[in-house]
């Protein structure tokens, strides 16, 4: 029997901590508390099948702009808000060797909170037409309403590195990679060969180099995932 109430309280505690401030320890604690939710996607208990989550769709116009460059891209329906970047500025940074552009949608509040719904960095100069297209597309991203399992298996971050084809990492795989690669759930050097053969091995540490206000992209993703789960199941926590 799943003790959903306990896991929700645990997740909410670490989520609230990460909203207020960012450090690698609190981030790994959040990833570890999310790790158990990846095991729930096939569960029929606690009304999992009755919950509705939002899944974004990468449009053809977005794909066309992203086609000719290395990039990272994440979309967060309804946005994700944090106070952890307070007084850090809105500088975007990434491991690009040359020029790069951003196409992110964000806003700041008087109290210093940062809300971001669209995180995109690409290794090329965007044309005026591209910028207008991105502005229009980012405000009209198609959203599908899906069940918990489909949400966990949907793309969390799209990326393309080193002239390889465009790829994506799913919500549940991103959680597992953060938890596993930083030893939040178990020791990564425990001779578990499946870890070394995993196609996403090493990816998270690369994604952590893409930041806004000194906050890495996976941080925004895991914060958004946590908020989605808490909003959907929060009443069960009491």
Question: Domain limits of the chain?
Answer: 4-237
Neighbouring residues of 32: CB distance < 8 A, sequence distance ≥ 6: 179, 184, 185
pTM of this prediction? 0.90
Query: Taking 70 as the threshold, does the pLDDT of residue 164 lie above it?
Result: yes
pLDDT for the residue 108: 81
Q: Averaged over 79-107, what is the pLDDT?
A: 85
- The mean-pLDDT minimum among 52-56, 107-111, 178-182 falls in 107-111
Provide long-range contacts, Cβ within 8 A and 24+ apart, for 184-190.
184/28, 184/29, 184/31, 184/32, 184/35, 185/31, 185/32, 185/35
Distance CA 220, CA 115 (A): 10
Share of the chain above pLDDT 70, in %: 89
pLDDT for the residue 202: 84
Write out pLDDT tens, residues 174-190: 999 998 887 645 555 55
pLDDT for the residue 237: 47
- Res. 238 pLDDT band, cuts 50 70 90: very low
222, 174 Cβ separation under 8 angstroms: yes
Write out pLDDT tens, residues 208-236: 999 999 999 999 999 999 999 999 987 55
- The mean-pLDDT minimum among 167-171, 185-189, 198-202 falls in 185-189
Neighbouring residues of 8: CB distance < 8 A, sequence distance ≥ 6: 229, 230, 233, 234, 236, 237
């Amino acid at each position: 029997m799943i003790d959903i109430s306990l896991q929700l309280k645990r997740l909410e505690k670490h989520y609230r901590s990460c909203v207020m401030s960012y450090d690698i320890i609190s981030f790994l604690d959040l990833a570890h508390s999310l790790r158990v939710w990846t095991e729930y996607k096939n569960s029929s208990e606690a009304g999992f099948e009755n919950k509705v989550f939002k899944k974004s769709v990468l449009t053809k116009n977005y794909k066309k702009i992203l086609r000719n460059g290395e990039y990272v891209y994440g979309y967060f329906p309804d946005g994700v808000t944090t106070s952890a970047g307070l007084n850090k500025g809105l500088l975007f940074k990434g491991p690009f060797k040359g020029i790069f552009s951003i196409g992110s949608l964000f806003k700041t509040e008087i109290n210093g909170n940062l809300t971001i719904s669209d995180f995109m960095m690409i290794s090329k100069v965007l044309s005026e037409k591209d910028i207008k297209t991105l502005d229009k597309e980012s405000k009209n991203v198609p959203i599908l309403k899906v069940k918990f399992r489909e949400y966990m298996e949907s793309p969390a971050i799209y990326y393309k590195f080193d002239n390889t084809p465009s790829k994506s990492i799913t919500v549940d795989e991103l959680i597992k990679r953060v938890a596993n690669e930083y030893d939040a759930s178990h020791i990564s050097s425990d001779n578990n060969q499946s870890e070394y053969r995993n196609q996403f091995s090493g990816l998270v540490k690369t994604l952590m180099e893409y930041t806004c206000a000194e906050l890495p992209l996976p941080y925004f993703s895991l914060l958004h995932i946590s908020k989605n789960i808490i909003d959907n199941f929060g009443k069960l926590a009491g």
